[in-house]
Amino acid sequence: MKWQLTFAWAAFLFVANLANPLRSQEKASDAKSTLAIPSKDDGLAGAGPIRRYDWFQKLWVERRTKWEKEANEKKGALVFLGDSITQGWGEEMSGVFGKTLVANRGISGDTTRGMLLRLNKDVLELNPSGIVLLMGTNDLEENAEPATIADNVQLLVQQLKKHNSEMPIVMCLVFPSSETKSRPADKIKEINRLFEAKFKGDTQVTVIDTWALFADENGNAKAEEFPDLLHPNQLGYAKWENALRPVLEVLGMVQPPSEPSTLEAGFEPLFNGKDLTGWCFHATSENERLAIEKRLKNDPKAITPPIIDKQKEFTQLRASDDGRYVAIHNRLVVTTPAEGRRIQQLWTTQEFKSDFVLKLEFRATPNADSGIFLKGKQLQCRDYLLAGPYKELKNYKPQQWNEVEITVKGNVARCLCNGEVLEEAFPIPATGPIGLEGDRGQMEYRNLRIKLSE
């Protein structure tokens, strides 16, 4: 009897489907409608343009349908959210981030309001481990004002922070383009200025100066990196990768390669690769305190070093008490300050009187600014080609590791970077510690070692 009822029910379903042949199509249509762009802006978050060109609506649904099917595979991924520049990097970001699980959520032609609209479904439902943002250029083509674009991005970041208050957010400044693409330099610079202002002091958001990385002397894209003055070619993507990698490694999003330490005969390490033992914050001297207070009185917004009441040593600690200096991956990292700029120095507890040879390697994010103090006198150590002062170096490798070698004899230092002379005869005091300054951007140092004269 049971099998007869089962057969009868199956027959009923078959006949019902024959009677309604559009049922499956209707279900597919319903699923498609949940991923489609709403026909009106009414009630949608944000402000400004949402594109509804036929080609764009088709692409929007195609990509989002694909992502919905693979959502379970992308849980916990590092998500890249953006437009055609992000989409053009490929579904796996060309595999450049190794074993890191990544999810490309770029849609060609999308605007900041469009990304805000699809944020929950395309990004938050993946519960990402981190997110990289690049957006805003298409809004300009639709005549949106920089303030509208920045407000949309602020809303988007607020939703990300609400979803996960500890998830790293990496904000790439809008790439340069061209007025011929309805993306003039002054508008892009204003968007980026507003981005930096809105996220100033936000410790969850790391801003990378990807505008300075690509802009020419007029603030426009370079044809050798952006053939159509909008989309990067292979060279452009490689530069973007190099800009992102140091930050993603420090944030724990990307695993760095194994890097053995170098210690030549006669050298001893200044940094043990594990913690900040042997390093400290010096107490602010009375003269320094008076100078800082006077400067702040004249300009309350002036960038000055913090006043430190007494010396702080960081023996067996992985980070300074304010988190600015961190020992990670055998590197001594000067992290990106949330304020945009913060001048600060970390010093060796040891003072040096004799002659010595100092060697170290450093890597700088775009336009980052740091410094190496030699017995208290600062040698600029920066992303040299962008930040100067040594902009004519031929051997410097932007966003990659570079070696500095400093030979001190008496009160003079000869300073080289990758074998090129930075300073032939750099005057320094007779005695003092070695220090590392932080100002803007992220700086990393490794293989810090010194050979003292006997």
pLDDT of residue 353 exceeding 70: yes
Q: Say which residue, 33 or 336, is predicted with more confidence.
A: 336
Report residue 300's pLDDT band, with 50, 70 and 90 as the boundaries.
confident
Percent of the chain residues topping a pLDDT of 70 = 93
Beta strands at 412-417 and 420-427: parallel, antiparallel or unpaired:
antiparallel
With contact defined as beta carbons under 8 Å apart, do 199 and 205 qualify? yes
Question: By the 8 A CB rule, do 276 and 325 touch?
Answer: yes
Mean pLDDT of 263-288: 94
List CB contacts of 176: < 8 A, sequence separation 6 or more. Answer: 185, 188, 211, 214, 215, 216, 219, 220, 221, 226
- Token readout for 321 is 């008490």
Residue with tokens 């775009």: 366
Domain 268-452: top CATH class: mainly beta
Q: Tell me, what's the pLDDT at 9?
A: 42
pLDDT at 17: 47
pLDDT level of residue 40 (50, 70, 90 thresholds)? very high
Spans of all domains in the chain: 19-250, 268-452
| Closest C-alpha among 401, 398, 400, 394 to residue 419 | 394
- Mean pLDDT rounded to a whole number for the chain: 92
Q: Provide mean pLDDT across the span 214-220.
A: 97
For residue 85, pLDDT beyond 70:
yes
Type and span of the H or E element at 187:
helix 185-198
Query: What is the rounded distance in angstroms from the CA atom of residue 319 to the CA atom of residue 304?
Result: 21
One-letter amino acid at 68 equals E
pLDDT exceeding 90 applies to what percent of the chain?
A: 85
pLDDT of residue 65: 97
Structure tokens at 120: 């929950």
Average pLDDT over residues 120-135: 98
Alpha helices per DSSP H over 215-329:
234-250, 286-298
What CATH fold (topology level) applies to the domain 19-250? Rossmann fold (3.40.50)
Q: Can you tell me the distance from the alpha carbon of 20 to that of 14, in angstroms, rounded to the nearest whole number?
A: 10
- pLDDT at position 32, please? 58
- What per-residue string of b and e applies to 329-341 under the rule 16 or more CB within 10 Å gives b? bbbbbbbbbbebe
pLDDT at 4 over 90: no
Distance (Å, rounded) from C-alpha 59 to C-alpha 71? 18
Examine the pLDDT at 439 and tell me if it is beyond 70.
yes
Q: What is the pLDDT of residues 427-436, one digit of tens each?
A: 999 999 999 9
Say yes or no: do domains 19-250 and 268-452 share a fold: no
Helices (H) and strands (E) in the chain, counts: 12, 19
**Residue range 166-209, pLDDT digits in tens:** 999 999 999 999 999 999 999 999 999 999 999 999 999 999 99
Q: Environment class of residue 305 by beta-carbon count within 10 Å: exposed (0-12), middle (13-18) or buried (19+)?
A: middle
